[in-house]
Amino acid sequence: MNVDLDTVSEIVLARERADLARIGAGTAVLAGGTFLFSEPHDHLDTLVDITTLGWAPLTESAQGLEIAATCTLAEFAGAGPGRELGAPTLRPEWPGTALFARSCRALLASHKIWRTATVGGNVCLSLPAGAVLGALVALDATAVIWPRGGGERRISLRDFVTGPGENRLGSGAVVRSFLVPTSSLLARTSFRKVALAPLGRSGSVVMGRRTADGRCAITITAATVRPIVLDFDSVPRPSELTEALAEITADMWFDDPHGAPDWRAHVTGLLAAEVAAELGEAS
C-alpha cells in the first residue's frame, strides 16, 4: 500500500553532509521510502532525501567491502560471488556474500521493491524479521554512523539493535555505510529459514559463519526480538549448541501472529542444528 504523506510540505535533496543537519523533530530520512510511504506519519513535515548524496553502493577495500546505506536490495543481492561491483574487473570469490541474496529472498517483497528499498532502511527499521539486517550481523558487519554535529562513530551491528524497532542510531544521526571484513567475506556460510506460510513473514532465520581459523558464529533473527549471535571456537557439537540455545531467555523470543515464542524456539533449534551440520561438512 502506498500512502500519501499529506503533512509533508518540503523535501530536501541532500547534496552534502551539512544538509543532514535538517534531520530532527518533524523530519525523516528518505531513501527507498518503502516503509515511509507504507503507513501514515502525521508528525512529519519535512523529508531529507539522502539518495542524492551520490554514495557508491558497494566499494572494495583491503579491509573488505563497504556497503552504502543507500545501496538497494537489488544491488546488495546482486553482489554474490563472481559478480561485478560496477567496476570493469571482477572481484575475488567471496563465499560469504552468498548470504546477500538469500537474506533478500527471506523478505516478503517483490523485485520491484528490491530496486527501491535500501540496505540502510532495512537495518534502521530494526524489525525482528529484518533479514538483510540478520545477514550483516551474521557477517560481523560494523555500522558507520554520522552523528548530528559532525564526526563519525562505529558500532558492531550485533549491538546496534536493542529491540523491535529500536536501535542505537541516535537522534539526528544517519547511517553512512556498513563495513564487512574480509575474513567474513571469505567464510563458509549456511542459511535456513522457516515460516508458517509459504509466502509468510519469516518465523525464524538462522545463519552460520565459519572462518578460516575454524571459529563459528550462528546468528538467529526473526525468531527473537533482536539478532542473537552464538559464538563458538569451532563448529559446535549438538550438546554445545543445545546448551547455548538454552541460555536465550524467554523474553527474547518474539511473539506475534507469525509465530508463538515456544514454536519459534523449537524450530530455531532445528534450523541451528542443520546450520551447524552444514558448516561441519564444509570443514
pLDDT, tens digit (0-9, with 9 covering 90-100), for 232-251 = 999 999 999 999 999 999 99
* Whole-number pLDDT of residue 92: 58
Given a cut of 80, whether residue 200 has pLDDT beyond it is: no
Q: How many CA atoms lie within 13 A of 96 on its CB side?
A: 25
Backbone phi, then psi, for 50, in 5-degree steps? -95, -5
Chain-centroid distance, C-alpha 158: 10
Q: How far apart are CA 80 and CA 247, in angstroms?
A: 34
3-state DSSP helix/strand/coil percent for the chain, to nearest 5?
30, 25, 45
Residue of 229 and 44 predicted with greater confidence = 229
- Mean pLDDT, residues 258-280 taken together: 97
pTM for this predicted structure? 0.91
Given a cut of 80, whether residue 111 has pLDDT beyond it is: no
Given a cut of 70, whether residue 89 has pLDDT beyond it is: no
- Residues β-bridged to residue 191: 207
CA-based nearest residue to 23, from 126, 151, 174: 174
Considering the chain, what is the average pLDDT of its residues? 89
Output the CA–CA distances (angstroms, integers) from residue 66 to 4, 59, 69, 119, 185, in the order listed.
33, 5, 10, 12, 11
Given a cut of 80, whether residue 11 has pLDDT beyond it is: yes
Length of the chain: 283
Q: How far apart are CA 75 and CA 115, in angstroms?
A: 8
Which contiguous run of DSSP H or E holds residue 47?
strand 46-49
Q: How far apart are CA 186 and CA 127, in angstroms?
A: 28
Buried b (16+ CB within 10 A) or exposed e, 135-166: bbbbbbbbbbbbeeeeeeeebebbebbeebee
* Whole-number pLDDT of residue 3: 60
